[in-house]
Amino acid sequence: MKLIDRTVADFTQELASPAPVPGGGGASALAAAIGISLGDMVGELTVGKKRYADVEEDIRGLMERSQALRLRFLELVDGDAEAFAPLAKAYGIPKDDPDRAEIMENALKTACSVPMDIMRACAEALDIIEEFAAKGSKIAISDAGCGAILCKAAMQAASLNVFINTKSMKDRTCAEALEEEANALLAKYTVLGDAVFNKVSDRIRG
Q: Report pTM.
A: 0.95
Per-residue model confidence (pLDDT) at position 91: 87
pLDDT of residue 108: 95
The 3-state DSSP class for residue 17 equals coil
pLDDT in tens, 9-57: 999 999 999 988 899 999 999 999 999 999 999 999 999 999 999 999 9
**Residue 11 placed within a domain:** no
pLDDT tens-digit readout, 75-123 = 999 999 999 988 888 888 998 889 899 999 999 999 999 999 999 999 9
Residue 58 lies in a domain: yes
Q: How far apart are the first and last CA of the chain?
A: 47
Structural domain containing residue 143:
24-86+95-205
Q: Does residue 20 contact residue 84 with C-beta atoms inside 8 Å?
A: yes
Q: Of the ranges 71-75, 99-103, 159-163, which one carries the lowest mean pLDDT score?
A: 99-103
Residue 12 lies in a domain: no
What total of structural domains would you count in the chain?
1
